[in-house]
Amino acid sequence: PVLVLRPSLSLHPSQGVSLGENVTLRCHLPQLAAWVWLYQEGHQTYCNYKYKKQDTADFSFLNTNREHAGRYWCQYRLPWSAVDSEKSDPVELVLTDRSFPPPSISLSPEECVEMGTNVTIQCWNKDYGATFLLHKDGCSAPIQRQDLDVVGTATFTIFGVTPADSGTYRCSYRPWGHPFLSSPLGSNVILEVTPTPAPPGGSQPHLSTLGATHEWLCHLLSL
C-alpha cells in the first residue's frame, strides 16, 4: 500500500476580499503530485493542474464574482499511479459585496464599564441580515457569530468583561440566502473597561504589555 499524505488548502489574502478583487487558493502538497484538483461545493471538478513539481499549486481567481464565493477542497494524484490523496479540509471563500448596506451597531452600557460587567452589543440590518459576525479591531478572525432564524437583529453578550475586552468592535452580516457573501463592516463602537483594584496578594496580568500575544487573546475571546 502507498502512503498518501493529505493536502491542505489556504486562501491568500486570507479574508476581506471584495467582489472584483483577486484571490488565490493555494493547495499545499506534501508529496510530488501528477495532478491537483480544486473542487467547489455543488460543482464538478473546478480546475485541475498537470504535473506539479512545486510543493504548492495555486488556483487564482482574477476579478472575482459572486459565483466564486463558496466552499472549496483540493486533492492530488501521485505520479505514475492512479492513487489519489484524501481531500483537504474545506476552506470558505467569503467575498465582500459592497452592494449590501453595512449593519448598524449599538453598545450597552455605553460608558466606561467596570470589570465583571456583562456588556451587550447589538447589530442589525432589517432587510438582509441573517448571520451576524462580531469583529474586534486587531483580531484577524471574527470573535463571535450568530445565525438568526429571521432577518433582523443579533445580540452579542460579553460576560464579565476584563480590560482585555477593551477595544473597537464592528459587525458584518451574511445576507439571507448568501452564506458566502459578506456585507461591508459597519461603523464601530468602543468598549472601555476600567480595571478594578487587584485583591491584596492577587497578581493581575499586565495585559497592555502582552502585544505579542494579541492573537492569543482574540482566540480566548472567541471561545
> Residue 13's closest CA among 71, 76, 60, 57?
60
Q: Give the total of residues touching ligand NAG (CB under 6 A).
A: 7
Using CB under 6 A, pick the residue from 44, 53, 159, 177 that binds ligand NAG: 159
The nearer residue to ligand NAG, 21 or 84, going by C-beta atoms, is 21
State in angstroms the smallest separation of the CB of 63 from ligand NAG.
Answer: 7
What's the closest the beta carbon of residue 102 comes to ligand NAG, in angstroms?
21
Beta-ladder partners of 193? 113
When asked if residue 22 is in the footprint of ligand NAG (CB under 6 A), the reply is yes
Instruction: Kindly give, in sequence order, each residue whose CB lies less than 8 Å from that of residue 178, ignoring residues fewer than 6 positions away.
Output: 66, 69, 97
Q: Closest separation between CB of residue 66 and ligand NAG, Å?
A: 17
Regarding 21 and contact with ligand NAG (CB under 6 A), the answer is yes
Residue 196 binding ligand NAG, by CB under 6 A:
no
Among 118, 120, 155, 196, binds ligand NAG (CB under 6 A): 118
Query: Strand ranges (DSSP E) for the chain?
Result: 8-12, 17-18, 23-28, 33-40, 45-52, 56-61, 70-77, 91-93, 95-96, 104-108, 113-114, 119-124, 129-136, 144-147, 153-158, 167-175, 181-182, 189-191, 193-194
Q: Which of 61, 72, 82 is nearest to 7 (CA)?
A: 72
Binding region for ligand NAG (CB under 6 A) out of 9-17, 31-39, 113-121, 198-206: 113-121
Stretch that binds ligand NAG, among 111-119, 126-134, 180-188, 199-207 (CB under 6 A): 111-119
Q: How far is the CB of 4 from ligand NAG (least distance, A)?
A: 33
User: CB-based contacts of 122: which residues, under 8 Å, 6+ apart?
Assistant: 105, 106, 108, 153, 154, 155, 156
Binding site for ligand NAG (CB under 6 A): 21-22, 62, 116-118, 159
